A = this chain, B = another copy of it.
Amino acid sequence: MPDDELNLGLLLFIPYRAMENRVFERLAGAGYDITPAQARVFQRISATGSRLTELAEQAQVTKQTAGFLVDQLEKAGYVRRVPDPTDARARLVQIADRGAETIPIAAAVVAEIEAEWTAHLGATQAAQLRRALGKLREITDPYAGPAST
Count residues of A near B (Cβ-Cβ below 8 Å): 50
Question: A8 touching B114 by the CB < 8 A rule?
Answer: yes
Our pick among B7, B120, B140 for the contact of A14 (Cβ within 8 Å) is: B140
Question: B8 touching A133 by the CB < 8 A rule?
Answer: yes
Chain A residues touching B, majority SS: helix
Copies of this chain per assembly: 2
Our pick among B5, B43, B117, B145 for the contact of A1 (Cβ within 8 Å) is: B145
Question: A1 touching B136 by the CB < 8 A rule?
Answer: no
With known contacts A7-B114, A121-B132, A129-B133, A16–B19 Cβ distance under 8 A: no
Contact residues in B for A144 (Cβ distance below 8 Å): 1
Cross-chain pairs A/B with CB under 8 angstroms, 10 sampled: A7-B110, A7-B114, A8-B129, A11-B133, A14-B141, A15-B140, A19-B140, A121-B132, A129-B129, A132-B132
Chain A residues packing against B (C-beta within 8 Å): 1, 3-20, 23, 43, 60, 110, 113-114, 116-117, 120-121, 125-126, 128-141, 144-146, 148-149
